[in-house]
């Protein structure tokens, strides 16, 4: 069996988030979507699960849902095929309600390039390219 990755993200506006991630190349899977959450497939093995705040809280037990506009609890990283793809991903995010920024790691761009993308809820998706 192929291993799969499901990244769960709390979102405040489901439709806005679906539109944002669709613009970035994810596809909604209606078989794994309802009023509480939406399964967004990047490919067959990598999915984002967009969860309403109330539904997300059910998985937290004794923890409090972070305000992702001001507090980060995690950063999910994806590798892309080129520097141009990283830049295009970030620019598409910005054109659809997100933002992005670059952290200078003092690594030459021809070796590694990374941008931090924030969705409209403040969840951080780090996209990078690395020379392998």
Domains in the chain: ranges and CATH = 1-61 (3.10.180.10), 74-132 (3.10.180.10)
- Count each helix (H run) and each strand (E run) in the chain, helices first: 3, 8
Which of the 8 DSSP states describes residue 45?
S
- When pLDDT is cut at 50, 70 and 90, the band that residue 1 belongs to is confident
pLDDT digits (tens, 9 = 90+) for 67-91: 999 998 889 999 999 999 999 999 9
Helices (H), the chain: 14-23, 53-57, 83-95
Q: Are 99 and 93 in contact (CB under 8 A)?
A: yes
pTM of the model: 0.91
């Amino acid at each position: 069996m192929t291993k799969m990755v499901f990244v769960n993200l709390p979102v405040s506006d489901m439709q806005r988030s679906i539109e944002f991630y669709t613009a970035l190349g994810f596809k909604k899977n209606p078989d794994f979507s309802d009023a509480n959450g939406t399964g967004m497939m990047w490919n067959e093995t990598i999915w984002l699960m967009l969860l309403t705040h109330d539904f997300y809280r059910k998985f937290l037990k004794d923890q409090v849902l972070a305000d992702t506009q001001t507090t980060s609890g995690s950063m999910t990283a994806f590798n892309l095929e080129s520097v141009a793809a990283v830049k295009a991903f970030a620019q598409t995010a910005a054109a659809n309600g997100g933002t992005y920024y670059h952290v200078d790691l003092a690594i030459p761009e021809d070796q590694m390039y990374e941008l931090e993308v924030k969705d409209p809820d403040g969840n951080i998706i780090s996209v990078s390219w690395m020379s392998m």
